[in-house]
Structure 1
Amino acid sequence: MEFFEGASTVRLRSIHNTYLVADEYSQHVRLDRDGSCGGARWTVEIFTYIGEQRRLRLKSFYGRYLAAHRTETTFLNLTGKKVFQEAPLCFGPRVNWLPLRDGCRVRLKCVFDQFLRANAGPPPWRNSVTVDTPSFPYTRYWILWDVEFLETPAHPPVSPVHICGGASCSSSTVASDAAAASSITIQYKVADDAGNVDESSGRRTLTFAAGGSIAMLKRKLQEETGLVNIDVCSRSPTDSSLVPINLPPPPDCPHIQVVVVKANSNGESHPFSVLSFLGQQ
């Protein structure tokens, strides 16, 4: 649930670099590479479910809720159950989703214990969305989503707390322990002007405050590299391409690997100014 904490509006990006998009004039939900359209915006509603369990609802830009059908299939029962937009006056548990962290991405499990899946392949499967449980190794990544914040309420940073008792616990010990617990190690490489990365060279490292924003990380890397206009990227697990990052590194990931790319590079990195965190390598 931490992926959605404090967010009011998000976009969901699949492993195929397509966005979850709601149709305006129907209940249909699909994938689209254009994440700038209104249909790619989802309002986050976090609520308490049975037994004090927290769940998530995602309301589309058009006022309907992302829902999973228990029995109805989309393509001859080949790619799981139907995903659609449910009207707000008649929704039930099928609009409830449980976010489950998977590394530095998220899986969305519906009430039927299946996962929101971005399909690929030839039409009509391409750009379709279903709920399913992956049955092949190569499809296990299809249920992973990146969460991109569009609107986020401002929250003051939370200072780390160290509880210590006894005379042997000095103030310097408290300070060093707190600093160690509130920092992560960023390992990075710098791509050349063509966007290529020398994989045989070693990685540079820097220490970054856990919980810091991606803008702070970008400024830190600018200071370290001397570059001005950069993108911070990570490797896609499917094809090893460089994909930009826009969420801060999770504070519980002590070591993160990234690639610094000049924003005007013509290589394999996408020239986005918006970044999205894809995780460890």
Structure 2
Amino acid sequence: MMKNITNPVSDEKISRLILKSYFEDLYDAVSSDVIIAGAGPSGLYCAILLAQKGFKVTVLDKKLSPGGGIWGGAMSFNRVILQKDVEGILKELEIPYKEEENALIVSSISFASSLIAKTTSFNNIKIFNLISVVDLYYIDEKISGVVVNNSAIELQKLHVDPMVLVSRAVLDATGHEAVLVNLYNKRTKVDLVNEFFMNAEKGEEDVINNTKMIAPGLFVSGMAANNVYGGYRMGPIFGGMLLSGKKAAKLISDYLNAH
């Protein structure tokens, strides 16, 4: 019988190559300039901008699929809306859109996949899914990394010790849960207000204004920022998320250059 595949790959080689490639990346990610927890729009765009400035970035997401809340669109209707203010960003990321009624309509699938593809195109960004942040690493009176474990281990509540990834700055882009800020709040109290009622216009402004440094080395963006400071929540509109990521990248870059 004639073979259709002229360069077969054995199961042994498949396993070996996957393990070698993955653990080379994980080994390299033990130390970064910036760790971003949460691979939603603000976290991914922040990573892209920091990478463009030459910083080494590690992105962690506890879920199987990076992209945050983009994929489902609105009520599983796979469309999202963005303001014309971010038209230039969509062009930069090569995300197709349609303009109607002075707003931009985007396929949620195209939006998420384009952000992920752009992020993974940088050699100085390492992105890991199915990794949960379970604590913060604190040294020299500042947040200096995160404590991580496999998401499946955390989900099953198994008693398996985590590991530390170190960095010069950490961004909480974990969305509504604000995981990192809540971990910080367990030891050093932060005035957590929690997000307010839904109002897209106000929420989109709030998410940018609330993107800040919480503590030395710890920053917050996206819905995590609104959860901390009591900003309005918003639905399937994402311009503010991109602009929050842009602001976070500027704040983190300035912090790293000053320290």
TM-score norm. by structure 1 comes to 0.26
- Highest RCO, 1 vs 2 (Cα 8 Å, sep ≥ 6): 2
Q: Which has the higher helix share?
A: 2
TM-score norm. by structure 2 comes to 0.27
Q: Which has the higher strand share?
A: 1
